[in-house]
Structure formats: structure tokens, C-alpha cells
Structure 1
Amino acid sequence: MNTMIISLFLCLIVCAATIEGGIIASHPDELISSPAQYEFQYSVHDSHTGDVKDQFEHRRGEYVIGRYSLIEPDGHRRIVDYSADPLLGFNAQVRREPISILQHH
């Protein structure tokens, strides 16, 4: 049993090293010269636990913008708008809204 676990462990290490090495070795210039670009978003609304939150983020190279919000225990929604870039660094603006404002929209 111990021999099988050790063999499996070694196989996972070798496979991971091979995959990682293959990716880096096959496209080294592409990894260095390609600016990061992505977009993502998600939201959670769990009425059972009261967990309500969402986020989105957009990145093009060194420029990032995003927003996240969550419902705080005191009944307010915290909203954070943020951005990051090489010139100004990371900046965030935080605001709070009562839940009643959200229910009227």
C-alpha cells in the first residue's frame, strides 16, 4: 500500500513538472510579451444563509477596473469600486447604502 501511494505521489510530481515545463518551454516569449487580459464576474444570493455578494473585474494589460459589493450584518450594502494602473496605483472608493434604497430600484 505504501509503495502504491509513493508511486502515485511521484507520478503526480513528474506529471506536474512535465506540464509546467512544457508550457514554459514551448511559449516563453508569448508568456513574457502577452499582456494579461481577462474579465470575470460572479454573484451569490443565498437566502438560507443571507450571503449576498457580487463582483466583476476587467483587465487589459496593466489596467484593471472592478467592483464588488456585499450585504453587511447591519443591513447596509457595501460597494467598492476600484482601479489599478501603473501611474496611479491601486485606488478604491467605498460607499454604503441602506438595503431599503436597493428595494426601491
Structure 2
Amino acid sequence: MPDFIFNKKLYYNPVEFAMDRIGGTWKMPILWRLKNRVMRYGELKKDIPHITHKMLTSQLRELEEEGFIVRKVYPVVPPKVEYSITERGLSAIPIIDTIRNYGLQLMNEFGIDHK
């Protein structure tokens, strides 16, 4: 496969491109939590306790910019913001599920208790 450039970044293969969209520590866990329900910022923060506010905000923005999630702002005081997954985000869920299952399998093989 030939190299390609997207948003001024050189990619060598489609796996690298996909991982740049949903990879990292926090994007997949965010998408996983949104797969079945709409969540508010505070719910996400509470459900992913080790993520910082700055990181959650930046990851949500990136996922929104890339079309994996939608941010809906309600015109109320105090502000109410909800996040939901898009069709593009839902299409990533089977991949995330496969990676998750592989991670659980590796944890078992390495003797790591995950229950």
C-alpha cells in the first residue's frame, strides 16, 4: 500500500491511520461507554475515574471533530451537554470489542487477575 497524507500527516498504512483516529489510552473507553447510551460530561468523568478533566475534554473534542460522537448543548442554566455515539463511532465498536477480548485473553495468559 502506498503512503498517504491526511491533514498534513504522513501515514504508512491503514492500521496506523485507524489507530490515530481511535487509539490511545482514552478514546476507545469513551466510545465503549457511549455505545449503548447518551452520557453527560460528569457521567463520563465519573465512569472513567483516572482520566483528567483536560484529557477528557480534549479526547471528546477530537472524537467529535472526527465524527465519532455528537455533542448536544441544551440552552439551559446551568449548561447541559450530552454526548452520543454516531454511526462512525458504532462501526468502531466491533473492533474495540475484539481488542478488549484479546486484552482479556492476554491478561489471563500472563496471570493477571481482572475480576
The TM-score bracket by the shorter chain reads: under 0.3
Under a length normalisation based on structure 1, what TM-score does the superposition of the two structures give? 0.23
Under a length normalisation based on structure 2, what TM-score does the superposition of the two structures give? 0.22
Kindly name which structure, 1 or 2, has the bigger radius of gyration based on alpha carbons: 1
